[in-house]
Amino acid sequence: MKNSFCKTAALGGSILIPILALLLFAAPASWGAPQQTPLETAQNVRIKVPPAGRWVHNYSLTANTARMITVPGWANYVNISPGVPGTTFWVNWTTPMTAVPSGDTTDGSGAVANSGVRYIGPIGDISPAPAVPPIQTFWVISATTQEISVECWR
């Protein structure tokens, strides 16, 4: 009896090892990998859900008059939202504006309509490109008088 059990165990062991190895090395990568929630997936592309009330300023825009806005140096994200849904405002992250955009701007200096959430923090220094410093000042303009909220967080 003892010999037959040892032979069966030895035979079973020699069959199980290749099967286990096959399962471990040939299994899809998703097996056993933790599944990401939508928030974790969003964080992997550098979008974060803002904490409530970290830094919020409200601004009144005068029709057809650009407004320069400066945010704290520690801010990595900014969300700009209109006070009245459906109204349009324009944001230029790099160039001062003198008028509401109209017509074509094809030199890369155009403004973004109703910008929403943006990453404004520093962009890494991946060689050979130099690091891009964070944005601390940007310009907003609207064709109508309206209110906007500017919310910042790290």
Assess whether 72 and 116 both reside in one domain: yes
- pLDDT of 98 over the 80 cut: yes
| Burial tier of 120 (Cβ tally within 10 Å: 0-12, 13-18, 19+) | middle
C-alpha span between 61 and 74 (Å, rounded): 25
Assess whether 6 and 69 both reside in one domain: no
Assess whether 26 and 71 both reside in one domain: no
Assess whether 149 and 96 both reside in one domain: yes
Assess whether 61 and 20 both reside in one domain: no
Find the CATH number of the domain harbouring 74: 2.60.120
Assess whether 53 and 109 both reside in one domain: yes
Confidence at 43, pLDDT banded by 50, 70, 90: very low
Assess whether 75 and 12 both reside in one domain: no
Domain span at 9: 2-39
Question: How many CA atoms does the CB half-sphere of 80 hold within 13 Å?
Answer: 28
Assess whether 14 and 61 both reside in one domain: no
Average pLDDT over residues 21-34: 48
Assess whether 15 and 64 both reside in one domain: no
Assess whether 24 and 61 both reside in one domain: no
Confidence at 3, pLDDT banded by 50, 70, 90: low
Task: Note the pLDDT tens digit of each residue in 105-138.
Answer: 999 889 999 988 898 888 765 555 556 778 899 9
DSSP result, 1-13: -HHHHHHHHHHHH
